[in-house]
Amino acid sequence: MPFVGREETNSAMIIRPEDASVYNLAGGGEAQLLLTGDKTGGAWWMGRVREDPRFMTQLHYHPKTDEQVYVLEGVLSVYADNAWHELGRGTLGVLPHGKPHAQGNRSENPVHYPAYPRVLRISSQQWTGS
């Protein structure tokens, strides 16, 4: 998908941390969004999140996109499928669209993870490996 205000090219796109849109999270932490819906015509977004100790979202869901988190540092607590799951460093969590979930930091140390929606749905029969 071409980026709004960007000519369609086959050029690499580099977005540096200093170019991120930074949002403070109510309850502690911040989201540094490298790409936003404004820059992708609403197609997707990507950023890095820091959740401080005791930060917690409310139970919510995303109607059209799956959410993915990959824990870089700390422990992310995720409530999904009626249970809490503790995601440590190196753990991937995929939260399907339409399914209620919550996440937060129930530890005493910050948790860091990149967050982005999964926008492509490819079945194993469609995957070509390229």
Q: What averages of pLDDT result for each successive group of 10 residues across the chain (130 residues)?
A: 50 86 92 83 82 95 85 97 97 92 96 76 40
pLDDT of res. 100: 95
CATH architecture of 20-118: Sandwich (2.60)
Which residue is it, tokens 């460093």? 89
Which residue is it, tokens 């197609």? 43
> Do residues 55 and 105 lie in contact, with contact meaning Cβ atoms separated by under 8 Å?
yes
- What gap in Å lies between CA 119 and CA 130, rounded to an integer? 18
- What gap in Å lies between CA 88 and CA 86, rounded to an integer? 6
- What gap in Å lies between CA 128 and CA 130, rounded to an integer? 6
- What gap in Å lies between CA 7 and CA 108, rounded to an integer? 46
Dig out the tokens for 98 from the structure: 């339409």
pLDDT of res. 39: 76
pTM of the model: 0.75
pLDDT of res. 48: 92
Q: Measured over all CA atoms, what is the biggest interatomic distance in the chain, rounded to whole angstroms?
A: 46
User: Alpha carbon 105 to chain centroid distance?
Assistant: 15
pLDDT of res. 107: 95
